[in-house]
Amino acid sequence: MSGIAVLLTQLGTPDAPTTPDVRAYLREFLSDPWVVDMPRPLWLPLLHGVILRTRPARSAALYRQIWRPDGVSPLLHYTRTQNQAVAATLPAGVGCTFAMRYGRPALTAALHEIIAARVERLLVFPLYPQYAAATTGSTLSVVMDAMSAHRFQPALRVAAPFYRRRSYIQALATRVQEALTACRETEADTPHILFSFHGLPQRHVDQGDPYAAQCQETARLLAEELNLPREHWHLAFQSRFGRERWLSPATTTLLARLPAEGVRSLLVVCPGFVADCLETLEEINVQGRALFFRAGGKAFHFVPCLNDHPAWIAALSALVREELAGWVEEGSPATTDERPGAAGSHG
């Protein structure tokens, strides 16, 4: 037995922007108690009796707006690209693959294949910068369940959330700075910046989930890297689902409010996503843009996610190699990725 495997994990995507495929994806996603932790006798009848009968058709129409011409979702395309780029930087004897927590390529299947190949050491690298039980926690539960089905167990490492790692912050800053440079070519004033993260029920944070604090730390460090005065940026949370209280302020609330406060030009960044998806391309760049203009805004700028930007590919490759330290000997460290700004850290 020999070998090392790296497994990059993402949330997931439907196979196609059709009602049946979206229904299958939502069924798997919304059935996960890590995502919706309501009592099963209350939630499952609502899910199967109402939500899966009505929401898939609406969501499929939204997915069609952002689906790529080559027939795959942006999330799948960029995750595959990131995987290929990282694999190309790894030494011989280290394999790299990727899987989705929901949808395909399925996480459980990928784990069974890795273990069946008798890989001795496995690094699981969740592509979520900030930890949340509904994302990283759910992923790790599947990893443990899949491994427990086998007599042979590879040595296991799980990469820590990289919400405050310098290379990640710098890659984000490069992406934002490029957008700001483009804005200056057409606008006299620098746009106000909104950092929009995916939302989470406030109850989860009250129960100990570190997600909100990690989002705040990412925003603070990114603003520092960009030399932004505090009055020139806001942080908000998007994608609310259900009726309970979620993290605030809501992105929709700020998009509707900022024009009345004098913000006419807005640049929106989604630091919690490393690949564009429905929540960025449609929810922010289509619905969010329209909401801002209806409220009186004059210019709306959307910053694409890190995707396959060279700065992010270099950063991700370095982060993976650092997590492999001690398993992979390369003569000298590939990159030293110091952690900036220790204040407020939860990592």
Say how far apart CA 66 and CA 238 lie, in whole Å: 18
Please tell me the predicted confidence (pLDDT) of residue 249.
98
Q: In sequence order, what are the residues at sequence separation of 6 or more whose Cβ sits closer than 8 angstroms to the Cβ of residue 226?
A: 173, 176, 177, 180, 193
Say how far apart CA 208 and CA 175 lie, in whole Å: 32
Residue 189: pLDDT band (50, 70, 90) is: confident
Q: How many helices (H) and strands (E) does the chain have?
A: 13, 8
Strand-pair partners of 260: none
CA distances to 18, 146, 199, 234 from 46, in Å: 22, 29, 22, 35
Residue 186: pLDDT band (50, 70, 90) is: confident
Section 17-38 average pLDDT: 96
Closest CA to 249 of 232, 258, 237: 237
Please tell me the predicted confidence (pLDDT) of residue 330.
57
CATH number of 166-302: 3.40.50.1400
Section 79-107 average pLDDT: 96
CA distances to 166, 222, 326 from 339, in Å: 6, 13, 20
Task: Please determine, for residue 210, whether its predicted confidence score (pLDDT) is greater than 90.
Answer: yes
Task: Please determine, for residue 86, whether its predicted confidence score (pLDDT) is greater than 60.
Answer: yes
Q: Which pair of tokens denotes residue 253?
A: 């609330």
More confident residue, 280 or 243: 280
Task: Please determine, for residue 55, whether its predicted confidence score (pLDDT) is greater than 60.
Answer: yes
Residue 105: pLDDT band (50, 70, 90) is: very high
Section 74-85 average pLDDT: 98
Section 205-230 average pLDDT: 97
Round the average pLDDT of the chain to a whole number and report it: 93
Please tell me the predicted confidence (pLDDT) of residue 343.
30
Strand-pair partners of 106: 100
Please tell me the predicted confidence (pLDDT) of residue 187.
81
Task: Please determine, for residue 202, whether its predicted confidence score (pLDDT) is greater than 50.
Answer: yes
CB-CB contact of 247 with 235 (8 Å):
no
- Tens-place pLDDT, residues 316-342: 999 999 999 999 875 433 333 443 333
pTM for this model (two decimals): 0.92
- Tens-place pLDDT, residues 261-282: 999 999 999 999 999 999 999 9
Write out the residue limits of the CATH 3.40.50.1400 domain(s) in the chain.
4-162+312-323, 166-302
Q: How many CB atoms lie within 10 A of CB 71?
A: 11
Please tell me the predicted confidence (pLDDT) of residue 243.
84
- Tens-place pLDDT, residues 135-149: 999 999 999 999 999
Q: Which CATH number fits domain 4-162+312-323: 3.40.50.620, 3.40.720.10, 3.30.70.3450, 3.40.50.1400?
A: 3.40.50.1400
Please tell me the predicted confidence (pLDDT) of residue 341.
36
Question: Is residue 234 classed exposed, middle or buried when 0-12, 13-18 and 19+ CB atoms within 10 A define those classes?
Answer: buried
